Structure 1
């Protein structure tokens, strides 16, 4: 069973998968709206959980293959599944809210960035527009969390195209 809250007529940025494969044509208002939305989501108090500390304690060493501190430095509320198939354009709407809850600060921005890595010009734009979140110690930790999760999906046969760029990003983050 599903509930319909609003009928959305705008198209999603990608149609069948979260990975971005070509640069979207998004204006400044779209990017400003996304940044504002993510900041507003992060400020909402919630008892829901999108990412569990216990998972990170186990999965980070397993999938990253390195020994780092796994304790989340800061928690905020996140959409929890922010990727290109859950965003519309040219008018921004954020779709698919069933996974929202507490996550490492910067999680949504890190997830969108990771799903953008195959389109370098868009990845640069995500970093530029969401750098206030990503270019911080908590944002870098959130990137490690997302890379952990996506590398786990690769072991199940999903997101295979991302493996090389994720490992490159992991290397850059852990230098």
Structure 2
């Protein structure tokens, strides 16, 4: 369909084995995804294509896509040709240590990107009120989880989805979310490192100190605690999440 030759040696497998990515003969990147047919209603199926309409946010260019049915396996496949991103993600460049080494220009650029993204009009939903209420309620009682500010968000902004050059990648889940949700996601991804955590709190204070930002942080704490409970052992994220949650609860219950 695309008249491309794939560099098989460049393959990158996504989490769970449902996606693969390849360098192409055109110098682009081809992302291939499979889904069970009953999951096609998910907005994530067209997230990358839909994100191409967002302005003033550094997003890899999207060029074309195609889909095809695989009834023998009850699957549908999708392929997207996008701009090849040479800059590594912060996670692959060194994780939390690489994040602490990011220059002030990177943080300023990220604040600008998230502000522009927050103002983009969309009907997509990244994090719903029901989802936030459910996740917080599974761990913490007596919290009014009503969100009072909503904004468009990437909705999965951990250190694996931002590059050292400031590009935002993996746009499957973007849509409306509580204000500050993206900053809270970076905050949660930084929990094991107090120095980095403090920097994220300072850089995104305007959003994180809002009611919606604190609720987003508490939801991420709940998720970290739930994962540890399910595994039966603490994780690098769950122990600091419990400490931070207590601080958040004082404010949110007050």
- More deviation in 119-128 or 164-173? 119-128
Residue in 1 aligned with 2:107?
31
SS at match of 1:3: strand
Q: Aligned partners of 1:160, 1:124: CA distance in 2, in Å? A: 20
SS at match of 2:176: strand
Equivalenced residues, count: 171
Residue in 1 aligned with 2:240?
165
Aligned 1:42-57 pairs, distance under 5 A: 42-57=118-133
Match of 1:83 among 134, 158, 173: 158
Q: Aligned partners of 2:181, 2:221: CA distance in 1, in Å? A: 11
Report the CA distance between 1:150 and its aligned residue: 3.2
Aligned 1:13-162 pairs, distance under 5 A: 13-15=90-92, 20-24=95-99, 25-63=101-139, 65-89=140-164, 91-157=165-231, 160-162=235-237
Q: Which has the higher contact order (CA 8 A, sep 6+)?
A: 1
Higher relative strand content: 2
TM-score where L is the length of structure 1: 0.88
Q: Structure 2 unaligned runs (5+)? A: 1-31, 33-78
Cα displacement string for residues 19-60 of structure 1 (whole angstroms, at most 9, x for unaligned residues): x54353111111100000111111111111111222233322
Q: Aligned partners of 1:6, 1:79: CA distance in 2, in Å? A: 18
Higher relative helix content: 1
Cα-Cα RMSD: 2.2
Q: Aligned partners of 1:134, 1:57: CA distance in 2, in Å? A: 18
Residue in 2 aligned with 1:4?
81
Task: Mark the CA change 1:149 to 1:9 in structure 2 (over 3 Å): closer, same or farther.
Answer: same
Q: Aligned partners of 1:47, 1:16: CA distance in 2, in Å? A: 34
Task: Mark the CA change 1:122 to 1:85 in structure 2 (over 3 Å): closer, same or farther.
Answer: same
Q: Structure 1 unaligned runs (5+)? A: none
